Amino acid sequence: MKLLLATSLALVTLAVPANATPTITWGACADQALAAGGAECGTLAVPLDPAAPNGATITLAISRVQHRTAASKGTVLTVPDPFTGTGYQQPLVGARMAGGEQFDWIGIARRGLAPSVPATTCALNPVALGRPDYVPTPVSQPFWTDRIKQIAADCAGDPLLDHMKTTDQAADLERVRVALGVPSVSLYAQTYGTYVGQVYQTRNPSRVTRAVYDGSLDPARLWYNANNFDQDVLLEENQHRWFDSIAAQDGTYHLGTTRAAVQAAFDRKARDLKAQPVNGFGSSEFIDVFLFAAYSEQTWPLLAPALSTLVNNNDLSMTLGLYSAFYGGDATNRYSALLAQICTDTSWPSDWNKWTADTWATHAKAPNSTWGNTWFNGPCAYWKHQSGTLVQPGGTGSALIVNGTLNAVTPFAGSLETRSRFPNSALLAVQNGISFQSTFAGNVCVDNAVAAYLTNGTLPVRKPGRQADATC
């Protein structure tokens, strides 16, 4: 990891003059998906430190899918999502929505995330095989505590990680807008990218025409709660809903006719893999792959047969295939970039006793999801880079907020809070929606509402009080 860190330092380049107009030279895309989708790609030099425009620069990778109509109805910036790592390929999705062909869609690989340069890789792979059970014991506790301290130590000293905050990313959005030569843009943001978009909109209200926020974070709960304890119980509840679905199809999956029976089969297999991992695939990896059901019901048809095959036939092949599919790619890069943002946006508790007490209390209600989430976020307790001050978003700008009422990643309460801060916004609730992504996920009602808003500015009529304004 230190070698990779040293390499990233060498890729920070000299500054361009502060008065130079940034430009993007468009050409063919090396990314195969973007190339196949007819996108163009380019790069943009931006200051490493937005407060020091004459200092060193880094390079953002930019993609574009242009309008396919006679004239463009505007430019939509797809705000990079720190949670999933998406952004660069997102224009392909937006351009395919109803009416999407009328817009120019812009994607960005956010700073620190490949193919932007440098790409940070300081943190150990969070989903590498061979980890002990998430729930600590006197034997396994040192593994986990040493691991999170080592990550924080390995990520210390990289100048890029002093400038990975949400405010830095919002400054990048403005640089991209200027380079595109457009007076204003619309925004499309998902999950953790919603906070980046809202900070940009708050700081640049005249530059945002419209904004779609899918699964808005609660800006009052960042980050110790929002990326941690606010999720755990809701994730567990969603996993139980998946168990209900499996029980209702017992003739297919043969795991039991009740939630309790499916839970028992699940727990037995977790204990088996804890006692005897298979080629490094143990209980932590088992939890990782099947907790995906709590993030999106779209994964249920994939996960249910894998669990059935594993429990009934002791066949791990389907599960391993899904593990690779879900966590493939450069997880190290994505994890490093995410930590660099959330650990420095604001300060985290540095007393590990508080983390432990909060985790055990939540673990009592959510034993499958809690300790894994704590270890994932744990490096923030020991982070070496100086934390910033959170920007509290809000303003009179327009926004369409969309969220599933059962979303555990960015809970519905966060969208209610965001709605209260943007009085000219409207909240569209996806009733009983579990997925962290409500837009462009096959819900025609939602996608039509997004298309109408981006095209014509049409929003659901705002209702009084703290509630959704419309439901799909």
Three-class secondary structure assignment of the chain: CHHHHHHHHHCCECCCCCCCCCCCCCECCCCHHHHHCCCEEEEEEEECCCCCCCCCEEEEEEEEECCCCCCCCCEEEECCCCCCCCCCCHHHHHHHCCCHHHCEEEEEECCECCCCECECCCCCCCCCCCCCCCCCCCCCHHHHHHHHHHHHHHCCCCHHHHCCCHHHHHHHHHHHHHHHCCCCEEEEEECCHHHHHHHHHHHCHHHEEEEEEECCCCCCCCCCHHHHHHHHHHHHHHHHHHHHHHHCCHHHHCCCCCHHHHHHHHHHHHHHHHHCCECCECHHHHHHHHHHHHCCHHHHHHHHHHHHHHHHHCCCHHHHHHHHHHHCCCHHHHHHHHHHHHHHHCCCCCCHHHHHHHHHHHHCCCCCCHHHHHHHHHHHHHCCCCCCCCCCCCCCCCEEEEEECCCCCCCHHHHHHHHHHCCCEEEEEECCCCCCCCCCCCCHHHHHHHHHHHHHCCCCCCCCCCCCCEEC
Token pair for 212:
């779609």
For 16-20, 190-194, 466-470, which range has the lowest pLDDT when averaged over its residues?
16-20
pLDDT at residue 330, as a whole number:
83
Token pair for 264:
């028992």
Local confidence band at 20 (pLDDT 50, 70, 90 cut-offs): low
pLDDT tens for each residue of 219-251:
999 999 999 999 999 999 999 999 999 999 999
pLDDT at residue 74, as a whole number:
95
In percent, the amount of the chain with pLDDT more than 90 equals 90
**C-alpha to C-alpha distance for 308 and 449, rounded to whole angstroms:** 38
CA angle in degrees (0–180, nearest 5) for 316-319-323: 130
pLDDT at residue 146, as a whole number:
97
Contact 111, 163 (CB under 8 A): yes
Local confidence band at 328 (pLDDT 50, 70, 90 cut-offs): confident
pLDDT at residue 4, as a whole number:
26
**C-alpha to C-alpha distance for 261 and 275, rounded to whole angstroms:** 21
pLDDT at residue 15, as a whole number:
40
pLDDT at residue 8, as a whole number:
30
Answer yes or no: is pLDDT of 3 > 90.
no
pLDDT tens for each residue of 108-130:
999 999 999 999 999 999 999 99
Q: Name the residue among 158, 215, 174, 146 with its Cα closest to residue 340.
A: 158
Token pair for 428:
């569209």
pLDDT tens for each residue of 82-109:
888 889 999 999 998 888 899 999 999 9
pLDDT at residue 17, as a whole number:
42
pLDDT tens for each residue of 413-466:
999 999 999 999 999 999 999 999 999 888 999 999 999 999 999 999 999 999
pLDDT at residue 11, as a whole number:
33
Mean pLDDT for the chain?
93
**C-alpha to C-alpha distance for 182 and 165, rounded to whole angstroms:** 25
